[in-house]
Amino acid sequence: METRSAKRKKLLLNATTPDSPEDHEDRITDLPDAILHQILFLLPIRSIAQTSILSKSWRQIWYTFPDLDFTSIGVIADAPNNNSSNDSNARKKLHSLLAKSAEFIYQVLALRDPKFSDIRVLRFRACLSFSRLNVLIRRAIRFNVQELDIEVTTNDYFNFPRSVIISESLRVFRLKSRYPGFRLPPAMILKGGFRSLYSLSLSRVILYDQPSLVNLFSGSSFPMLKKLSLEMCIGLKNLNVSCRGLVDLTLENCFQLEGLEIYSPKLENLRVDGCFDAYSNSSWFKIDAPNLEKMFWSHNTIIENCSVENLTSVRESLVGFFMLHEDLNAAKIQSVSNFLSGLSLCQSLTLESSCIEILSKNYHLGGVIQHPFDRLQSMELRTGFSKHNLPGLAGLFCNSPTVHTLVLKIDNVQNVERRKWNRDLWESSSSGEERYWESQSQAMNSFLHHLKVVKIHGFSECENDISLVKFLLKHGKVLQEMFLCTGISKPRNSLERDKIKSQIMGFSRASSNAKILFEYI
């Protein structure tokens, strides 16, 4: 009689040593092509190509694979900095590798049949001639490519591929020239295409011969465009963006820009970084975007003529300027105040140190922010925190009546006066900083009645820092948390630090719930 143990072993043996041909069935190959494509999408492109040697059916799967990402086999590297023999050899090897990668891409596209194998995504990085680049792009367009992402290095300037302009299938197009750049065709040719494009990204565009793109990015030229990114548009002077469906706009390192006008009723995200000519005397900026939610404006020169309108939906803003102190006049100072007034309805605001300096100069001149930040909930300020910046900080606190979270990131800038705090000397006669803050307490009444969380990064245990801490603890009616994180490269003696910490813990507090937390690095 067969035991249960023997029966289990027999069943297990039969399961692991099949006898019928059906048990040798290739279940993976029988999967639908769409599922196989999804599985292969997780592999590098070379591994996917190697599956074509398995069988005729797998070769067909490779020939119809819709997502061709060749970025794993092509590497773009910057040119060597000198002409040594080692660098010359390395350059030759690199160009040889990239040439082979480009040839592989060319062969893959040549083997496909455009009648049965549309391309959904094509991405590649290569070093090749413009003629070969143009051939690759034309082949991709023949396969009705929907997303085309190209990063190239060429031996000379090249012209924007016209086959892209007339493509009816292209939805996403990104062209980045690492070196030396490319030129756009005449505006009339550009206006006639891009009917289906909803995302466009161009980098290193040479525009010396057509420095104005006033009427290009309009609703009639780009009816479906939702995302636009322009980087290093060399020679660009004036730009007008009025695509009615545009949602996301990014401008970076267009440093020669002098005039910018944006009218996009559906725009939600705006990033302008490293733009505008610092030596221009006639720069201007105008924006009308009622649905704008996020605005990033950094490393831009101060614009003299600024009009910020209808930003009624803005939630987050970051503002900073590239400032030439010798050119900082009353008109530019007022322009910054006007710019910030246009953001008065935002809920979260970050200001870089240059803004604090400019606002402090404005208050010294008797100027004020025209519109308070009545909806502001969170404010982050980056500042050198010298006594010269106190008017700007105080003005912001006075004009932010509903802020509940304040973050200060203090830059320990060299040559900035940072006097050490000495409690014994302080108590005999209060410091100028302490007297200044006390003089502003009535104007900050609403701010002090809403502030709940204060975080100070770069806290240096100096007079400026501690005077503000003492003031906020003394008058913060609903303060719940005071977080102090030091960023000093040469910390104080541990005994002296413990003494100052103990003294801060002993400051009077308007809120019995206020907790003070220290972090030393």
- Interval 309-356: pLDDT, tens: 889 999 999 999 987 765 677 788 888 888 998 999 999 999 998 888
Residues 425, 432: Cα–Cα separation, whole Å: 12
Does 335 fall in a domain? yes
Residues 186, 183: Cα–Cα separation, whole Å: 9
Does 26 fall in a domain? no
Residues 109, 347: Cα–Cα separation, whole Å: 50
Task: Count up the domains in the chain and report the number.
Answer: 1
pTM over 0.75: yes
User: What secondary structure letter does DSSP report for 420?
Assistant: B
Does 388 fall in a domain? yes
- The pLDDT, as a whole number, for residue 149 is 96
Does 415 fall in a domain? yes
Whether 62 and 49 have beta carbons less than 8 Å apart is answered as: yes
**Strand pairing class (305-309; 348-351):** unpaired
- The pLDDT, as a whole number, for residue 218 is 84
Does 475 fall in a domain? yes
Exposure of 276 in the CB half-sphere (CA atoms within 13 A): 26
| Amino acid identity, position 506 | G
Rg (CA), the chain: 31
Q: What is the mean pLDDT of residues 79-92?
A: 51
**pLDDT of 39 strictly over 60:** yes
Does 226 fall in a domain? no
Helix (H) or strand (E) holding 201: strand 199-206
Whether 185 and 159 have beta carbons less than 8 Å apart is answered as: yes
Whether 164 and 139 have beta carbons less than 8 Å apart is answered as: no
Q: In the 3-class helix/strand/coil scheme, how is 257-296 assigned residue by residue?
A: CCEEEEECCCCCEEEEECCCCCCCCCCEEEEECCCCCEEE
- Interval 393-434: pLDDT, tens: 999 999 999 999 999 998 865 444 555 655 554 454 456 788
Alpha helices in 279-431, H assignment, sequence order: 330-341, 353-364, 390-398, 423-428
User: What secondary structure letter does DSSP report for 180?
Assistant: S
- The pLDDT, as a whole number, for residue 318 is 97
Q: Supply the CATH number for residue 410's domain.
A: 3.80.10
Print the domain residue range for 440: 324-521
Does 363 fall in a domain? yes
Does 377 fall in a domain? yes
More confident residue, 98 or 166: 166
Give the residue among 34, 26, 91 at the shortest CA–CA distance from 61: 34
- Interval 48-67: pLDDT, tens: 777 766 777 777 777 888 89
Q: What is the mean pLDDT of residues 240-260?
A: 94
For residue 182, give both structure tokens. 């490319």
Q: What is the mean pLDDT of the chain?
A: 82
